[in-house]
């Protein structure tokens, strides 16, 4: 399954709210299966329905331990990154929890091959419905909160490039030289606040 790339109009339009009557439908089950299949083919930590060409407010979020095995324990602690089992959020709503923010590099399956430094809330409160119709509310912090903000942005027609420090925009190949450097060094080198 191909991931929709930047330049496609669907990535710039707000997605439609999923009607409660659609929960449990074959159409929604097919979308959930397609999101799982999309991340099986092109591994990532999240995928929003618009990224596979469907304009519904549905996302799949995950951060499997196998992804984190490639990252040093020190870097995982810095990112505040812990394993997240895959789960579906329908009509998610998020709001920041507190004023604290963090800047880290982000990439996107729909902006393939690039990444940039993005500032986001450190913690968010998220409310959503799962594919069985059950409502949830939780506070997520660290990398998990970042994933949620990135994916909900997709539902609002926003890409990370709209929020990035543009001076840090780089290819994934060049990112390797900056991945483990201290944030103050990155900011000073690229001239970002």
Neighbouring residues of 29: CB distance < 8 A, sequence distance ≥ 6: 131
Question: What are the distances in angstroms from CA 140 to CA 50, 81, 82, 88, 171?
Answer: 23, 11, 11, 15, 29
Q: Buried b vs exposed e over 94-119: b needs ≥16 C-beta within 10 Å?
A: beebeeeebbbbbbbbbbeebbbbbe
The helix or strand, by DSSP H or E, that contains position 102, with its residue range, turns out to be strand 101-107
The helix or strand, by DSSP H or E, that contains position 174, with its residue range, turns out to be helix 172-175
- Active-site residue identified among 20, 82, 106, 151: 151
In the residue annotation, 151 being an active-site residue is answered as: yes
Neighbouring residues of 21: CB distance < 8 A, sequence distance ≥ 6: none
Neighbouring residues of 167: CB distance < 8 A, sequence distance ≥ 6: 190, 191, 192
Residues designated as active site: 151
């Amino acid at each position: 399954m191909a991931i929709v790339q930047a330049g496609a109009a669907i990535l710039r339009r707000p997605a439609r709210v999923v009607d409660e009557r659609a929960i449990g439908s074959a159409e929604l089950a097919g979308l959930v299966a397609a999101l799982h299949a999309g991340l099986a083919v092109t591994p990532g930590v999240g995928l929003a329905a618009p990224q596979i060409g469907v304009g519904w407010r549905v996302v799949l979020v995950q951060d499997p331990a196998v992804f984190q095995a490639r990252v040093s324990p020190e870097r995982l602690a810095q990112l505040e990154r812990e394993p997240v089992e895959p789960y579906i959020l329908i009509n998610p709503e998020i709001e920041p929890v507190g004023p604290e923010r963090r800047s880290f590099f982000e990439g996107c399956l729909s902006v393939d091959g690039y990444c940039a430094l993005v500032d986001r809330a450190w913690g968010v409160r998220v409310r959503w419905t799962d594919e069985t119709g059950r409502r949830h509310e939780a506070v997520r912090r660290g990398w998990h909160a970042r994933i949620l903000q990135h994916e909900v942005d997709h539902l609002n027609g926003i890409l990370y490039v709209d929020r990035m420090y543009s001076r840090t925009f780089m290819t994934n190949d060049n990112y390797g030289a900056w991945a483990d450097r201290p944030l103050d060094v990155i900011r000073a080198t690229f001239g970002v606040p």
